[in-house]
Structure 1
Amino acid sequence: MLHAVIMAGGSGTRFWPASRKLVPKQLLALSGQRTMIQSTVDRLGDLIPPERQMIVTNKILVEAVREQLPELPAANVVGEPCKRDTAPCVGLAAAMIKRTDPDGTMVVMPSDHVIASHAKFQAALAAAEKLIDEDPTRIVTFGIKPSYPAESFGYIQRADKIAADGVDAYKVEKFREKPDRATAESYVDAGTFFWNSGIFVWRASTILDALETNAAAMSVHLHAIADAMGRPDFDDVLEREFTAIKGTSIDYAVMETYKNVVVIEAPFPWDDVGSWQALARLNDPDEHGNTVVGSHIGIDTKGAIIMTQPGHTIVTIDVEDLIIVQTADATLVAPKHAEERVREAVKALEDKGFSDKL
């Protein structure tokens, strides 16, 4: 059967001050009424029922996620004892799925992307599942055709085209790390590179075997956790064994060296919502290029991104290309070109003892 695993443990520091430790980006509504994690579940539609959907998140967020997704069984929201990157997250989910469905296929996806077409997304997942059924040792990923030479994404270099059901699919030549500007431009010019979406489809047994080969020490801890499933001491074993894992990404642990990988050119619109400027892509700007979520009065204001709390109005005069985000206890004002430095602000708040603002 097809299972969905949604990775929801991120802290979303680039979306401070709206994103906080207890209410990170994936639990916010940045476009429309539904939060990002709710929208991620929504796009699965009827393809994967709630009982086969798993959320893996930080243990401090478990109750908040359960409140936002009451249709999921409570046990399907799994709390990691600590942050250990994506490979342990994937391994934990795979071990849990394999225990109940030894031949189960997993689609693994982040909780904080925006994909506009649910129908195209579901059709692409169905095509990927068929590719896995044809060869259970296969790993399938989704590549995004680059629209500009991004330096913030990893890239996937495609090789020969293969037969697939209703999608363009290729063997993977190589995964590439985040490039510098010149290298990114060469990738776009070549026309054979995709952005790495971070969405994967594989058999639970396949990814566990790959982790066994490439990350043997991690697998020892995952096996111990799997053996404790259903026992009264499971929570204690999970805490002890997961904490002992040395964290690493699934790209580094498996994808960069695994030989049997297929990339599907994503037939759906995709946005990784990586920083505040994503609001301008997700919400229609006004006639002056301002993107406003909330209440705003602008006088000679152009190209601004503004987000306010209900009941609060921001007034701007003679400003251009600013990010202004107001919350109940903190306000961010920054030029758009410096949005990546929001992480510096979060670290400065931490260093100066403003933990109540994080």
Structure 2
Amino acid sequence: DIKTAKMILLVGKSFWNSGMFAWKIETIVQAYQDHLPKVISLLERISNKWNETGIDADISAEWSQMPKLPIDIGIMEKAEKRIVIPVDYGWSDVGSWKALYDISEKDEDQNVLKCKNLILNSKENYVYSNKLVTLIGVENLIVLETEDALLISSKDKSEDVKKIVNKLKEERMNEYL
């Protein structure tokens, strides 16, 4: 609740779980064996399928049985050996193309250009392509080219890519996902 959150901030003796974990392989495997043995069993079945038929093996039956549980709750809250390391560093959730633009190195016109390019009177754009890209008089665009698709979006609408993904699923255009 908000009252508790404000108190935690005021006291200043708590840590924020950033969701970043590090461990030895043996340690995390043992933690799964101790706390989520079903996951280990399912992963072993997946591994066996991959060894028998390759990476394209159908693992949908195993995957559908995986517990829908974050590692924080399933493992970390129960772990006996854990430490918290306080750090103070800049962090950004790169969950959108705009966020990626924000943390990328920019040219003198504030463009991020991951391509061969010719740019005239254009600023604050993010462009990723394997082709030559020319921009003339545009601002605040995200332009992304892949082998089979092209995305052009205003930067302030870049989080709407999720809507496009949903639309692709609805239209059964899975080859573009």
Range class of TM-score, shorter chain = 0.5 to 0.7
Secondary structure of 1:333's partner?
strand
Question: TM-score normalized by structure 1?
Answer: 0.37
Structure 1 pair 192/335, CA: closer, same or farther in 2 (3 Å)?
farther
The 5 Å alignment of 1:323-338 reads 323-338=142-157
* Residue identity matched to 1:307: Y
Structure 1 pair 321/194, CA: closer, same or farther in 2 (3 Å)?
farther
Once the two structures are superposed, residues 13-41 of structure 1 have per-residue CA deviations (whole angstroms, 9 ceiling, x without a partner) of: xxxxxxxxxxxxxxxxxxxxxxxxxxxxx
The 5 Å alignment of 1:106-185 reads none
The separation in 2 between residues aligned to 1:295 and 1:189, in whole angstroms, is: 52
Is the 2:113–2:128 Cα contact (8 Å) retained in structure 1?
A: yes
State percent identity of aligned pairs: 21
Is the 1:295–1:313 Cα contact (8 Å) retained in structure 2?
A: yes
Aligned pair 1:253/2:70, yes or no?
no
Number of the residue aligned with 2:160: 341
Question: TM-score normalized by structure 2?
Answer: 0.66
Secondary structure of 2:110's partner?
coil
Gaps of 5+ in 1: 1-179
Aligned length: 167
Q: Structure 1 residue 192: deviation in Å?
A: 4.3
Secondary structure of 2:134's partner?
strand
The separation in 2 between residues aligned to 1:271 and 1:262, in whole angstroms, is: 23
Number of the residue aligned with 1:295: 116
The counterpart of 1:353, out of the listed 150, 172, 177, is 172
* Residue identity matched to 2:36: A
The separation in 2 between residues aligned to 1:337 and 1:189, in whole angstroms, is: 36
Gaps of 5+ in 2: none
* Residue identity matched to 2:135: V
The separation in 2 between residues aligned to 1:320 and 1:256, in whole angstroms, is: 46
Is the 1:321–1:335 Cα contact (8 Å) retained in structure 2?
A: yes
* Residue identity matched to 1:256: E
Aligned pair 1:306/2:127, yes or no?
yes
Is the 1:279–1:291 Cα contact (8 Å) retained in structure 2?
A: yes
**Runs of 4+ displaced beyond 6 Å:** 267-272
* Residue identity matched to 1:288: D
Secondary structure of 2:23's partner?
strand
The separation in 1 between residues aligned to 2:25 and 2:73, in whole angstroms, is: 19
Whichever of the two has the greater Rg, that structure is 2
Is the 2:15–2:86 Cα contact (8 Å) retained in structure 1?
A: no
Greater per-residue helix proportion: 2
The 5 Å alignment of 1:1-358 reads 190=12, 192-194=14-16, 196-202=18-24, 204=26, 206-221=27-42, 225=45, 235=52, 242-243=62-63, 245-247=65-67, 248-265=69-86, 273-276=94-97, 277-282=99-104, 284-310=105-131, 312-317=132-137, 319-358=138-177
* Residue identity matched to 1:333: I
Structure 1 pair 342/270, CA: closer, same or farther in 2 (3 Å)?
same
* Residue identity matched to 1:343: K
Structure 1 pair 357/202, CA: closer, same or farther in 2 (3 Å)?
closer
Is the 1:290–1:303 Cα contact (8 Å) retained in structure 2?
A: yes
Structure 1 pair 340/252, CA: closer, same or farther in 2 (3 Å)?
farther
Secondary structure of 1:253's partner?
helix
The separation in 1 between residues aligned to 2:17 and 2:126, in whole angstroms, is: 26
CA-atom RMSD, angstroms?
4.2
